Structure 1
Amino acid sequence: MTHTGWSDFSFDGIGTRWEISTPEELPDGVRASLLGVVEDYDRSYSRFRDDSLLAALAREAGTVTLPAGAGELEQLFRKLYRLSNGAMTPLIGGSLERLGYGAGYALRPLGHPVPAPRWEDVLEWNGTEISASAPVVLDIGAAGKGQLVDLAAAVLRSAGITEFLVDASGDMLHSGAEPLGVALEHPYDPTQAIGVVEVHDGALCASAANRRAWGDGLHHVLDGATGRPIETVVATWTMAATAMEADALATALFMVDPTVLEGEFDFSWLQVYSDGYAAYSAGFEGTLFS
């Protein structure tokens, strides 16, 4: 989703496709900085590579020091863990691997679903320091891609670029004078749209059960309290000032009542349920097709 006439810089990172769109072609130095930020983030947080910082905690109990932005992740996850009564948790990685969504992408369940460990039982996370009292598979994907979108935007702004679109496969941050119309992908048919929304100087993020689905009813949005895929909500979209917050709230909408989230976050939202029903906030200024 790009502005007509803009230049695109596309690459793969953290397992997804990125498109950075700007009015002028990006200098080589800025491109190198963007690729470096994405690689550094992957090396810190990925649960799909053996050499990441978080992978060390999956092998044995201990403490690792994460990059500066880890404190923002901690605060966001801690709040959503509380609001969801443990359903949304960075400890969901082991439950995902149990259902087959691990480093090898086997996509075959290894057994019955297992709940995530309780945060208060195994994890101490204070800013950049994170300690586990037992081996744990951490997964910060519910907010991590959004945070990386924000970090990419910071690279552009530091280079004096004020008009841009950072799009990480549907999680996007826009900056510029002119709003951008974005189609909302149909949760059951990626060739169709269920509506359109305008993004302007902010983030739009989406989460859908069909994006990473396999087997019989298996997908990547799990309830941490049970380890089971969530079946009621099938797709969400959120708009917020930062992509990190919008990304996390798109997942939270699968398991937390929107009015509860609205009490603590400034965002707008759209939910689509498995029966086709759609609900949305007053601030979600889009057009849904009938």
Structure 2
Amino acid sequence: MTAATATGSVWTFDAIGTSWAIETAHPLSSVARAGVAVAVDGFDREWSRFRDDSLVSALAEGRTASVVAPADTDAMLALYDELDAATRGAVNPLVGDALARLGYDARLTLTPRGAAEPAPAWRDVLTWGSGILSMSRPAMLDVGALGKGRLVDRVLDIVRAHTDGDVIVDGSGDLAVRGAPVRIGLEHPYDPERAIGVVTVRDGALCASAITRRAWGDGLHHVLDARTGAPVRAYAATWAVADTAMRADALATALFFDGGAELAAAWGATWVRMRTDGRVEWSPGFEGEIF
């Protein structure tokens, strides 16, 4: 996605394996930047399956069966409940082992080591409550369906606490806007030099997902159907506009499956998606332009 923005101060940095840009009317103070850095590092240490020292790695390796639940646990896993129900089990936070089996593992070997296998029934394995997150057996949590959106929302809150005026937080495909509206291009999944349309976001968030962004072999990419453990085939890219980045991120995943459009309608969100044959679909009420 590309955004046409007003001139301001832009802070760029790399975090959680991708590039970020935060645009504000005036330069962020060192205190604000430090607050963002602490939040991002903390989230990574808790939820990253690519770090040996993360909480989810400790649970996956059986080093512990329970951990003190991170602050984002309730918000994210409750939303996974809604995604699971809407997609009839296609979206599941225990797809980490299925991704690793296909080569998208902690070491990024990108070499499959077996056939696709379904993810476990996550509510039979994973429990949380009273400040504790527990696994009945080792399994790898992967909150990629909505985790980056959640972090974008948290970063936005920190930035807004330290500055007045317009703010844009862009986490490479997950973008939140407050203040002046922002016109955003919808990048063609097969040609990053082209856009399939544009949309203006006002005091909301736009998140995108594409099977071409994290792909490493013939038909291998990061969007899996948890019921089979295999990559999806019908859709190439999705875009969702919602009130928060976490919800937009969640919908950008759910829209690869039956039930995603209905969930978006229930949340009052709008969307666009492109099939792998190039056909484009969009929701009623979508206020952008499709070329």
Deviation at 1:129, TM superposition (A): 2.4
Matched length:
288
| Structure 2 match to 1:281 | 283
The CA distance in 1 between the partners of 2:260 and 2:51, in whole Å, is 34
The CA distance in 1 between the partners of 2:82 and 2:128, in whole Å, is 13
Secondary structure in 1 aligned to 2:67?
strand
| Structure 2 match to 1:77 | 80
The CA distance in 2 between the partners of 1:199 and 1:20, in whole Å, is 16
TM-score (normalised: structure 1): 0.96
One-letter code aligned to 1:147: R
Deviation at 1:263, TM superposition (A): 5.0
Deviation at 1:283, TM superposition (A): 2.1
Q: Tell me which of 110, 122, 126 is aligned to 1:123.
A: 126
One-letter code aligned to 2:159: L
User: How does 1:1-290 map onto structure 2 within 5 Å?
Assistant: 1=3, 3-60=5-62, 62-126=65-129, 128-176=131-179, 178-289=180-291
Preserved CA contact (<8 Å) 2:28 2:163: no
Preserved CA contact (<8 Å) 1:70 1:127: no
Preserved CA contact (<8 Å) 1:172 1:204: yes
One-letter code aligned to 2:177: H
Secondary structure in 1 aligned to 2:238?
strand
Unaligned runs of 5+ in 2: none
**Comparing 246-255 and 274-283, the one that deviates more:** 274-283
Q: What is the CA RMSD across the aligned residues, in angstroms?
A: 1.4
Secondary structure in 2 aligned to 1:206?
strand
Preserved CA contact (<8 Å) 1:205 1:237: yes
The CA distance in 2 between the partners of 1:259 and 1:101, in whole Å, is 28
Unaligned runs of 5+ in 1: none
The CA distance in 2 between the partners of 1:254 and 1:242, in whole Å, is 19
Deviation at 1:99, TM superposition (A): 0.3
Secondary structure in 2 aligned to 1:68?
coil
Structure 1 residues 47, 127: closer, same or farther in 2, change over 3 A? farther
Deviation at 1:127, TM superposition (A): 6.9
Deviation at 1:107, TM superposition (A): 0.7
Deviation at 1:277, TM superposition (A): 1.2
Secondary structure in 1 aligned to 2:266?
coil
Structure 1 residues 138, 242: closer, same or farther in 2, change over 3 A? same
Deviation at 1:219, TM superposition (A): 0.4
Secondary structure in 2 aligned to 1:264?
helix
The CA distance in 2 between the partners of 1:18 and 1:126, in whole Å, is 32
Cα deviation, 1:17-37, whole Å, max 9, x if unaligned, reads: 000001111111111111111
Preserved CA contact (<8 Å) 1:69 1:128: no
The CA distance in 2 between the partners of 1:238 and 1:127, in whole Å, is 33
Percentage of identical aligned residues: 48
Deviation at 1:2, TM superposition (A): 5.5
One-letter code aligned to 1:101: Y
Preserved CA contact (<8 Å) 2:86 2:260: no
The CA distance in 1 between the partners of 2:124 and 2:71, in whole Å, is 25
One-letter code aligned to 1:222: L
Give 4+ residue runs of structure 1 displaced > 4 Å after superposition: none
Secondary structure in 2 aligned to 1:251?
helix
TM-score (normalised: structure 2): 0.95
Deviation at 1:51, TM superposition (A): 0.6
The CA distance in 1 between the partners of 2:89 and 2:276, in whole Å, is 23
One-letter code aligned to 2:54: S
